[in-house]
């Protein structure tokens, strides 16, 4: 029997039991589509994390204060102390001390209530310098950013995030209009373009950027401490070198050892690695559950093929009596099993692809479908059909012709 005849015989056998074949394929369809969507959700989450962290700044190094301890001995978390100052930022900006730093942006931040007319909105107020948009890779959708003169004089001006504008101004351009905060009237000189990123649980599109000195005045602070120092490395390859240089410099400036450091440093790589570890764990967990569905589907294929062997004993005996070899019989049943597996794989990939288009709109989570994962899914389905069809095919091939013909 040629391969063409074998394929035709396999298709005829599957069509003869359409409903049973459909139910058998269903198990593989569910398993394959589940695996594709699970892997797609994991990859989509990783891409989303990468995009959000990239939106926080290019080649970014984040320097945060250490923890504080109050009079009762209660220790705060990282960032609760006031161990970073403008002097630290100026030292880091020195190209001799930190040659791999391209730009430095110290900031102070607090939560403030802004009012525009009869509308008010509580947002994150960020006191920054003129280097802030470069270091944070932020662009403006309208207006301009704070000038060096406005920074130096702590001028009453602000640049608002897109979400903040949406909450305070319903119509017209906010540029040139005013907002009130802590009894001070600020003129809006620009609007930040949407970034879609978030940091420390707060949206980067919901904030008001003001001159650093003005932020100090509005909060009543008289010291030179800063909340965070953002450092942009000269290139991605020099980020590690900049990390070491900043760490060594601050150890010397603060007179502390590495074990006693009163500050912490984080890079994009560490943030991405931490987020991806969590996503990968969830992907593996959900993938394992989907793999169980595949296993059930494979067992279904073996079951249907065993039933087929039992029902077709006389057919098998007749084929052997007419000269069919055990290898030809085995090949026929393996072809049938592989067809069921391949059909389940193709339909599962189709449903997984449709799900990847529909799910993002329903769960607000991207789903990334890769060609590698798709091909692997089809290959897995085909392997399942062949693997679970080996035993039934071997059983059919071992039947003696006289016993098969005598069977009722």
Q: What is the pLDDT of residue 199?
A: 58
Q: What is the mean pLDDT of residues 213-217?
A: 93
In angstroms, rounded to a whole number, what is the distance separating the alpha carbons of residues 36 and 369?
7
Three-state DSSP at 222 gives coil
Task: Name the β-bridge partners of 231.
Answer: 61, 104
Pair 11, 340: CB distance under 8 Å: no
pLDDT digits (tens, 9 = 90+) for 91-123: 999 999 999 999 999 999 999 999 998 899 999
Distances (CA, A) of 376 to 32, 349, 383: 10, 10, 10
Q: Rounded mean pLDDT of the chain?
A: 82
Listed residue (100, 124, 122) closest to 110, CA to CA: 124
Q: What is the DSSP letter of 136?
A: T
pLDDT digits (tens, 9 = 90+) for 125-139: 999 999 999 998 889
Q: What is the pLDDT of residue 114?
A: 94
Q: What is the pLDDT of residue 77?
A: 46
Question: In this model, does residue 82 exceed pLDDT 80?
Answer: no
* Neighbouring residues of 356: CB distance < 8 A, sequence distance ≥ 6: 36, 37, 40, 367, 368, 369
Pair 246, 101: CB distance under 8 Å: yes
Q: What is the pLDDT of residue 1?
A: 58
Whether the model pTM is above 0.85: no
55: pLDDT confidence band, cut at 50, 70 and 90?
low
In angstroms, rounded to a whole number, what is the distance separating the alpha carbons of residues 191 and 161?
6
Q: What is the mean pLDDT of residues 180-202?
A: 82
Q: What is the pLDDT of residue 248?
A: 94
Q: What is the mean pLDDT of residues 221-231?
A: 89
Q: What is the pLDDT of residue 69?
A: 42
Q: What is the pLDDT of residue 75?
A: 43
Q: What is the mean pLDDT of residues 230-246?
A: 90
In angstroms, rounded to a whole number, what is the distance separating the alpha carbons of residues 79 and 283?
32
* Neighbouring residues of 186: CB distance < 8 A, sequence distance ≥ 6: 156, 157, 158, 178, 179, 180, 208, 210
What is the percent of the chain where pLDDT is above 90?
Answer: 33
378: pLDDT confidence band, cut at 50, 70 and 90?
confident
- Comparing 384 with 85, which gets the higher pLDDT? 85
Q: What is the pLDDT of residue 59?
A: 82
pLDDT digits (tens, 9 = 90+) for 127-181: 999 999 999 888 999 999 999 999 999 999 999 999 999 999 988 889 999 999 9
Question: In this model, does residue 226 exceed pLDDT 80?
Answer: yes
pLDDT digits (tens, 9 = 90+) for 342-371: 888 889 889 988 988 888 888 777 888 878
Q: What is the DSSP letter of 369?
A: -
56: pLDDT confidence band, cut at 50, 70 and 90?
low
Q: What is the mean pLDDT of residues 182-198?
A: 87
Question: In this model, does residue 323 exceed pLDDT 80?
Answer: no
Q: What is the pLDDT of residue 99?
A: 95
pLDDT digits (tens, 9 = 90+) for 13-40: 777 778 777 877 887 888 888 878 887 8
Pair 62, 266: CB distance under 8 Å: yes
Task: Name the β-bridge partners of 209.
Answer: 126, 159
Question: In this model, does residue 76 exceed pLDDT 60?
Answer: no
Phi, psi (rounded to 5 degrees) for 232? -95, 120
> Which stretch of 15-19, 56-60, 173-177, 237-241 has the lowest confidence by average pLDDT?
56-60
């Amino acid at each position: 029997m040629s391969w063409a005849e074998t394929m035709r015989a396999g298709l005829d056998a599957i069509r003869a039991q359409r409903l049973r074949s459909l139910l058998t394929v269903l198990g593989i369809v569910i398993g394959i589509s589940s695996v594709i969507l699970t892997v797609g959700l994991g990859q989509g989450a990783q891409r989303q994390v990468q995009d959000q962290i990239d939106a926080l700044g290019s080649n970014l190094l984040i320097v945060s204060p250490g923890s504080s301890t109050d009079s009762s001995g209660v220790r705060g978390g990282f960032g609760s102390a006031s161990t970073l100052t403008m002097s630290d930022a100026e030292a880091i900006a020195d190209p001799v001390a930190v040659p791999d730093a391209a730009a430095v942006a110290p900031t102070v931040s607090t939560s403030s209530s802004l009012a525009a007319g009869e509308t008010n909105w509580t947002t994150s107020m960020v006191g920054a310098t003129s280097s802030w948009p470069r270091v944070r890779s932020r662009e403006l959708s309208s207006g301009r950013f704070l000038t060096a003169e406005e920074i130096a004089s702590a001028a009453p001006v602000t640049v608002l995030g897109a979400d903040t504008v949406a909450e305070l101004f319903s119509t017209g351009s906010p540029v040139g209009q005013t907002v009130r905060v802590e009894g001070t009237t600020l003129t809006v000189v620009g609007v930040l373009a949407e970034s879609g990123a978030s940091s420390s649980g707060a949206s980067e599109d919901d904030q008001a950027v003001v001159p650093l000195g003005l932020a100090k005045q509005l909060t009543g602070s008289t010291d030179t401490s800063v909340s965070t120092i953002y450092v942009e490395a000269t290139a991605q390859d020099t980020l590690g070198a900049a990390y070491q240089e900043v760490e060594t410099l601050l150890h010397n400036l603060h007179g502390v050892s590495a074990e006693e450091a009163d500050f912490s440093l984080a890079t994009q790589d560490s943030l991405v690695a931490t987020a991806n570890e969590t996503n990968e764990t969830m992907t593996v967990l959900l993938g394992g559950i989907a793999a169980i569905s595949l296993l059930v589907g494979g067992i279904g294929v073996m079951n249907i093929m065993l039933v087929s062997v039992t029902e077709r004993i006389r057919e098998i005996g007749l084929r052997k009596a007419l000269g069919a070899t055990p290898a030809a019989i085995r090949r026929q049943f393996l072809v049938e099993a592989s067809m069921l597996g391949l059909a389940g794989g193709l339909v599962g990939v189709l449903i997984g692809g449709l799900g990847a288009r529909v799910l993002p709109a329903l769960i607000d989570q991207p789903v990334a479908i890769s060609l590698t994962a798709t091909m692997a899914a089809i290959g897995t389905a085909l392997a399942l059909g062949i693997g679970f069809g080996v035993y039934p095919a071997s059983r059919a091939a071992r039947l003696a012709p006289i016993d098969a013909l005598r069977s009722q």
